[in-house]
Structure 1
Amino acid sequence: MMRPHAILAVAAAMLAAAPAAAQPAPNLAGLWQNPHRTVVVRTGNCGAERWCGWVAWASAEAEADAKDGGVDRLVGTELLQGYERDGPGSWTGTVFVPDMNRRFSSRIEAVSANELRIRGCVLGGLFCKTQVWTRVEALPR
């Protein structure tokens, strides 16, 4: 017969090894601000279970950087393109970087309901850059 503390240890080990209950993915729809606070993107559905994001607000600095990269008008530009869910709280798609005027393969992971980790990579993931974007309730003034 197992001792009570041994039973508790076995139960704790089983719980630790058990997969976590499936959590619903956070809603991507809304306004998200980059860590430099120079761009806000409005995300929403863009077709058959895909998510996209368009620049809803940009600082003068971000507008100038985009213009230097060849993008004349930053507001309205689609930065997040065709993201499809590929796991609980994660999506893959393409990110457009206006100041470079280039697109990169990308992955979005929900850090929380109010934070997204956005990673863009080139050369099959050899070089990557990651930013954490924060949900905002309104556009900056």
Structure 2
Amino acid sequence: PAVQQTAPAAKPTTAPTVGAASPSAPVPKPLANPVQAANSPLGVWLTEEKEGEIRIEQCGANLCGYAVDKKSNANGEQVLINMKPDKDKWSGRIFDPNSGSTYDSTIAVKSPDTLHVQGCAFGGMFCGGQTWTRVN
């Protein structure tokens, strides 16, 4: 009788483990996305002057930002160039379409919906910053 009880117990144990593996696989993905969105600059941001939207996305190990074309929603001119992760910020270059110049830059997420963007000229002697607001 003991052998009969062990054998049926082994079969149900195996079946739920297999069945449990499938439903548990998608669970980490939804949990990971909100956390990433909260402290990640990935996404679309509206500039402080509301001159345009910038889409920040992965480009290799770094981040890049592109002006979003309002008509096609496609990536336009590159604005953030090769932003490398550095503790709680990203450092690289920023292109100012108004002046046609490129500056040293840092970006840092200040809250889930705000991003501080700074550009510096002359080795950091002159710096200016903006706060961008998350669109999505």
TM-score by length of 2: 0.66
Distance 2:86 2:49 in 1: 28
Partner of 2:63: 51
> Structure 1 regions of 5+ residues with no counterpart?
1-22, 59-74
Report the count of equivalent residues.
Answer: 98
Partner of 1:103: 102
Asked if the contact 2:65/2:80 (under 8 Å) is kept, the reply is yes
Q: Which has the bigger relative contact order, CA under 8 A and spacing at least 6?
A: 1
Q: Does 1:40 align with 2:39?
A: no
How many Å separate the matches in 1 of 2:96 and 2:43? 20
Alignment-mate amino acid for residue 94 of structure 1:
R
**In structure 1, what is the Cα distance between the partners aligned to 2:59 and 2:100?**
22
For the 8 Å contact 1:31–1:135, the answer to whether it is kept is yes
- Indicate the RMSD between aligned Cα atoms, in angstroms: 2.1
The sequence identity of aligned pairs, in percent, is 31
C-alpha deviation, 1:29, in angstroms? 1.3
Distance (whole Å) between structure 1 residues aligned to residue 86 and residue 122 of structure 2:
20
Deviation at 1:109, TM superposition (A): 1.2
Matches within 5 A, 1:63-74: none
**Partners of 2:42 and 2:109 in 1: CA distance:** 12
Q: TM-score, normalised by structure 1?
A: 0.64
The structure whose Rg is larger is 2
SS in 2 for 1:124: helix
Runs of 5+ unmatched residues, structure 2: 1-34
Cα distance in 1, alignment partners of residues 90 and 62 from structure 2: 9
Indicate the residue corresponding to 1:3 in structure 2: none
* Equivalent residue, structure 1, for 2:83: 83
How far apart in 1 are the matches of 2:69 and 2:52? 6
Larger proportion of helix? 2
Q: Determine the C-alpha separation between the residues in 2 that align with 1:45 and 1:111.
A: 19
C-alpha separation in 1, matches of 2:105 and 2:93: 5
